[in-house]
Amino acid sequence: MKITKRQLKRIIKEEKRKVLNKQPRHTAMGQTAKSDKLFDARDNLLGLIELLEPAEFDAYINSLISELEMMKQDI
Over residues 30-66, the pLDDT tens digits come to 556 677 788 888 888 888 888 888 888 888 888 888 8
Q: What is the pLDDT of residue 50?
A: 82
Q: What average pLDDT does the structure give for the chain?
A: 78
**CA distances in angstroms from 65 to 10, 12, 24, 52, 75, listed in the order given:** 12, 10, 27, 16, 15
**Domain spans in the chain, listed from the N-terminal domain onward:** 5-74
Per-residue pLDDT at 2: 78
What is the pTM for the complete model shown?
0.45
Degrees (nearest 5) of the Cα angle 30, 36, 14? 105
Q: How many beta carbons lie within 10 A of that of residue 61, not counting itself?
A: 20
Asked whether the beta carbons of 7 and 44 are under 8 A apart, the reply is: no
